Amino acid sequence: MNILIIGTGYVGTTTALVFAEMGWKVTGLDTELRKIENLRQGLLYFYEPGLDEMLIKHTGSGRLQFTTDKAKAIRDNDVIFICVGTPSRPDGSADLRYVQQVAEDIGEHMNGYKLIVNKSTVPVGTQERVTDWVREAQVHPHPYDVASNPEFLREGKALEDALHPERIVIGADSDHASGLLQQLYASINCPVIVTSPRTAELIKYASNAFLAAKISFVNELARLCDPLEVNIKEVALGMGLDSRIGPKFLQAGIGYGGSCFPKDVAALLLTAQELNVRLQVLQHVVDVNQTQYLYLLDKVRNRLGTLAHKKIALFGLAFKPDTDDIREAPAVRIIQTLLQEEAEVRICDPVAQLPAELKVSSVAFSTSPEEVLDGADAVLLCTEWPMFRDLDWTRLKDRMSRPNLFDGRNFLDAGRMTELGFYYEGIGYK
Ligand code: UDX
């Protein structure tokens, strides 16, 4: 089986590399020539640990090639993965125009049986729509199947997650399609769930929504921990040892961001709304998340009296460590609020870059922690990059005008920071 991956974004490139690593012959297709030329030279346009080495390995091994020739790529491959983006519309619904375009391209150029697999996160019922789009675009009535095979990888851990997943979900309505997909993944040792396409599509949304709910639950609880003078980290530890709860995704902080949780939760809420089902728990998950970053700013405001004309340093811009992704990053919202309140902002992140709309005179960016702390009234830790733990905090403290440390990720050791002379506050943790 030859595999075609349409869309060489984050998910597409990782999927292509992982199939090449498993020994399959893979082609990556994209409409953007510049992206394809870079990939051919072994250059990624996003940061993800380990992927660049693997790209160089497999462009060299001959198992992986990149093209912009969609007609030829569709003709030459038996299994086609759709990995294009599904951006949010202003109302929160998923915009499927790229998926539709790909489905129509496949219909137009197919020359025999094709297994079409959707990996993009799409609303429940999309497999049926893709099936229709392909049929309507077909020039000759060749047979095909459309399956759903959602991706569960995390940014920063993409290779680990894709090579060693905890489960593979296959949503197919024919034994032939599910058999082919099981063959493709035969070298991976993990439970495989074979189900209907609708169920597979919902499993993806439900998983992300549940993880988001765990985070909002613990974040709300952290707000209660503050007046109770209880440490949320110990509460989470005690809860997490119950295997029914589990220790992961119980880290309180300034809320979840990224390209998946906010978008997928909004899309699931919209699906429910369209069907007149009220997902009240999930709505509250969003409400908590949208105010969690303000909770940190309240602490800063209380301590400094006002944010106006204060020099505030931010450690971390990315929505989480090991990525340069700033989509829906709580740090970005924090900066916007600080600017509205006329603070002076300095930001340090080892990889992420400042977006164009934040390149204003009252915002300075540096990769040097020392530089951003010079004369600062407070530092807000927004992303738990390991480098921030290893800093010489004693020396850094002396550069600040006031040693106020607000840890939005409960990442540093409160006791040690206090001993060093910082005023330290985390989220439900002091
Ligand atoms: C997520 C899912 O984990 C992945 O399975 C899915 O395929 C895509 O969405 P990702 O967005 O890369 O992956 O990041 P993840 O590690 O899940 O973190 C999401 C956000 O939640 C981050 O902003 C992170 O800081 C936050 N988070 C995570 C917490 O605030 N507390 C936690 O305990 C865990």
Q: Nearest C-alpha to atom 2 of ligand 1 is from which residue?
A: 154
Q: Nearest C-alpha to atom 13 of ligand 1 is from which residue?
A: 154
- Tell me how far the alpha carbon of residue 256 lies from the centroid of ligand 1, in angstroms: 7
The answer to whether residue 83 is catalytic is: no
Total structural domains within the chain: 2
203 found inside a domain: no
Cβ contact 4:73 at 8 Å? yes
6 lines ligand 1 (CB under 6 A): no
Q: Give the number of other CB atoms < 10 A from CB of residue 209.
A: 21
**Burial of 315: CB neighbours in 10 Å, binned 0-12, 13-18, 19+:** buried
Query: Is the same domain home to 121 and 259?
Result: no
**Over 90: is that where the pLDDT of 268 sits?**
yes
Q: Which two three-digit tokens encode residue 404?
A: 């106020």
Query: Is the same domain home to 234 and 371?
Result: yes
Rounded distance, CA 170 to CA 181, Å? 7
3-state secondary structure of 379: strand
Candidate of 46, 259, 260, 427 to mutate for ligand 1, largest count of ligand atoms within 8 Å of Cβ: 260
Closest to 18 measured CA to CA, from 3, 6, 33: 3
> Pick the catalytic residue: 83, 190, 225, 260?
260
Query: Is the same domain home to 189 and 272?
Result: no
Domain final residue, candidates 152, 168, 195: 195
Mean pLDDT of the chain: 96
pTM above the 0.80 mark? yes
Cβ contact 116:82 at 8 Å? yes
Helix (H) / strand (E) element for 296: namely helix 280-304
334 found inside a domain: yes
406 lines ligand 1 (CB under 6 A): no
Query: Is the same domain home to 274 and 420?
Result: yes
109 found inside a domain: yes
- Mind giving me the DSSP string for 139-188? SS---EEEEE----PPTTSHHHHHHS-S-EEEE-SSHHHHHHHHHHTTTS
Range(s) of the domain holding residue 259 = 211-425
- The pLDDT, as a whole number, for residue 130 is 98
Query: Is the same domain home to 374 and 331?
Result: yes
List strands edge to edge, sheet with 168-171.
Answer: 64-67, 25-29, 2-6, 79-82, 114-118, 144-148, 168-171, 192-195
Query: Is the same domain home to 150 and 262?
Result: no
- Tell me how far the alpha carbon of residue 154 lies from the centroid of ligand 1, in angstroms: 7
Rounded distance, CA 299 to CA 296, Å? 5
105 found inside a domain: yes
Amino acid at 166: E
pLDDT tens digits, residue range 109-132? 999 999 999 998 899 999 999 999
260 lines ligand 1 (CB under 6 A): yes
pLDDT tens digits, residue range 211-256? 999 999 999 999 999 999 999 999 999 999 999 999 999 999 999 9
**Over 90: is that where the pLDDT of 50 sits?**
yes
In CATH, what number is assigned to the domain containing residue 397?
A: 3.40.50.720
Domain final residue, candidates 167, 195, 223: 195
153 lines ligand 1 (CB under 6 A): yes
202 found inside a domain: no
- Tell me how far the alpha carbon of residue 112 lies from the centroid of ligand 1, in angstroms: 40
Closest to 17 measured CA to CA, from 50, 45, 55: 55
Rounded distance, CA 313 to CA 80, Å? 47
Query: Is the same domain home to 180 and 219?
Result: no
206 found inside a domain: no
Which ipTM value was assigned to this complex? 0.98
251 lines ligand 1 (CB under 6 A): yes
Query: Is the same domain home to 116 and 235?
Result: no
Rounded distance, CA 320 to CA 249, Å? 13
Rounded distance, CA 388 to CA 291, Å? 25
Cβ contact 296:334 at 8 Å? yes
Query: Is the same domain home to 407 and 259?
Result: yes
Q: Which atom of ligand 1 is nearest to the CA of 154?
A: 12
399 lines ligand 1 (CB under 6 A): no
201 found inside a domain: no
Query: Is the same domain home to 219 and 191?
Result: no
What is the distance of C-alpha 64 from the center of its chain? 25
- Mind giving me the DSSP string for 224-273? HHHHHT--HHHHHHHHHTSTTT-STT---SS---SSSHHHHHHHHHHHHH
Query: Is the same domain home to 110 and 134?
Result: yes
204 found inside a domain: no
Domain final residue, candidates 195, 223, 252: 195
pLDDT tens digits, residue range 278-314? 999 999 999 999 999 999 999 999 999 999 999 999 9
- Span 79-93, mean pLDDT? 92
Query: Is the same domain home to 159 and 244?
Result: no
94 lines ligand 1 (CB under 6 A): no
185 lines ligand 1 (CB under 6 A): no
- Categorize the per-residue pLDDT at 61 as very low, low, confident or very high, splitting at 50, 70 and 90: confident
- Categorize the per-residue pLDDT at 45 as very low, low, confident or very high, splitting at 50, 70 and 90: confident
Q: Which atom of ligand 1 is nearest to the CA of 384?
A: 25
Closest to 194 measured CA to CA, from 170, 173, 175: 170
